[in-house]
């Protein structure tokens, strides 16, 4: 079956530090990969996605590259801000027919001034 | 509507009581999903609707849980005889089609506390 593994949190960084949140997946075929973000007290929001190998998704300074050879989709940001404090979820889905989205367990990021 | 709307935003109930959680998806979104987010856990899939039918309800944890969708729009998740382990945030999401390839749009969730 499909599964997503994320690094354990919480991750605590100082403002302007470099962020990496690791995500690896297990799936047959060619899933689409997503990062969702959940700010305190809110629902999940789609942050970025990539639908095929070597694609790079990017949004709000965050980026992630679909690496089929390492089955990874690590989230990176060059300089985090306090406002980036949230829980980040890696997820996958197989397109072309119904498949529910499989989420990782989430990684909490706390950015301190 | 402009977004996925869930109500109530918070619900505290006594153990053994029944609760109903409501989700109003984005207008025109044919696919609707319920997930549960427990403290320290990831998102647990509960049920998927395409239109008014539920082709995948494999995630419902017990027969105390049921859901329906009417008019291809509003969905209600019902939990009967609530237990303390049912305490969680229940999230609803919708998408334009069942593949989810464009990503889901989530509501803000209903925080259920069973005391």
The string of pLDDT tens digits covering residues B9-36 is 999 999 999 999 999 999 988 899 999 9
Considering only CB atoms, which chain A residues are within 8 Å of B101?
Answer: 32, 51, 93, 95-96
Q: Which positions of chain B have pLDDT values less than 50?
A: none
pLDDT at B114: 97
Q: How confident is the model at residue A27 (pLDDT cuts 50, 70, 90)?
A: confident
Q: Which pLDDT score, from 0 to 100, does residue A3 have?
A: 87
CA distance A50 to B62: 35
Q: pLDDT confidence of A9, banded at 50, 70, 90?
A: confident
pLDDT at B83 (0 to 100): 97
Average pLDDT, chain A: 91
Q: What is the pLDDT of residue A41?
A: 80
Q: Which of residues 1-60 of B touch A (CB under 8 A)?
A: 4, 6, 31, 33, 35, 41-43, 45, 48, 50, 55-56, 59
- Could you give the C-alpha distances from A49 to A36, A64, A101, B40, B80, in angstroms and in order? 9, 8, 13, 24, 37
Q: Say how many C-beta atoms besides its own lie within 10 A of residue B97's C-beta.
A: 12
Test the A interface: residue of B29, B60, B100, B105 with most A CBs within 10 Å = B100
Average pLDDT over residues A61-71: 96
Q: Which among A36, A44, A100 has the least Cβ separation from residue B56?
A: A100
Work out the average pLDDT over A87-102. 79
| Mean pLDDT value across residues A87-97 | 82
User: Which pLDDT belongs to residue B96?
Assistant: 80
Instruction: Give the DSSP H/E element, type plus range, for residue B6.
Output: strand B5-7
Coil/strand/helix, residue B64: coil
Instruction: Name the minimum distance, in Å, from the CA of B82 to any CA of chain A.
Output: 23
Task: Give me the pLDDT at residue A29, please.
Answer: 80
- What is the per-residue pLDDT for A81? 97
* Of A88, A85, A55, nearest in space to A72 by CA: A55
Query: Which has more pLDDT, A44 or B80?
Result: B80
The fraction of chain B above a pLDDT of 70, given in percent, is 94
Q: How many Cα atoms sit within 13 Å of B63 on the Cβ side?
A: 0
């Amino acid at each position: 079956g499909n599964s997503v593994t994320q690094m354990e949190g919480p991750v605590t960084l100082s403002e302007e530090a470099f962020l990496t949140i690791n995500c690896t997946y297990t799936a047959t075929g060619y899933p689409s990969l997503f990062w969702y973000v959940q700010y305190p007290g809110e629902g999940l929001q789609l942050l970025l996605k990539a639908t095929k190998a070597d694609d790079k998704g990017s949004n709000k300074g965050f980026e992630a590259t679909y690496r089929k050879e390492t089955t990874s989709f690590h989230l990176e940001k060059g300089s985090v801000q306090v406002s980036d404090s949230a829980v980040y979820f890696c997820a996958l889905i197989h397109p072309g027919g119904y498949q529910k989205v499989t989420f990782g367990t989430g990684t909490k990021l706390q950015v301190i001034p | 509507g402009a977004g996925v709307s869930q109500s109530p935003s918070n619900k505290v109930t006594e153990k053994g009581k029944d609760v109903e959680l409501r989700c109003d998806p984005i207008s025109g979104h044919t696919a609707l999903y319920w997930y549960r987010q427990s403290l320290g856990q990831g998102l647990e899939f509960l049920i998927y609707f395409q239109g008014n039918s539920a082709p995948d309800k494999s995630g419902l944890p017990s027969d105390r849980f049921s859901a329906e969708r009417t008019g291809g729009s509003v969905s209600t998740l019902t939990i009967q005889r609530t237990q303390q382990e049912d305490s969680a945030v229940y999230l609803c999401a919708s998408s334009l089609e069942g593949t989810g390839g464009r990503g889901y749009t989530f509501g803000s969730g209903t925080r259920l506390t069973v005391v």
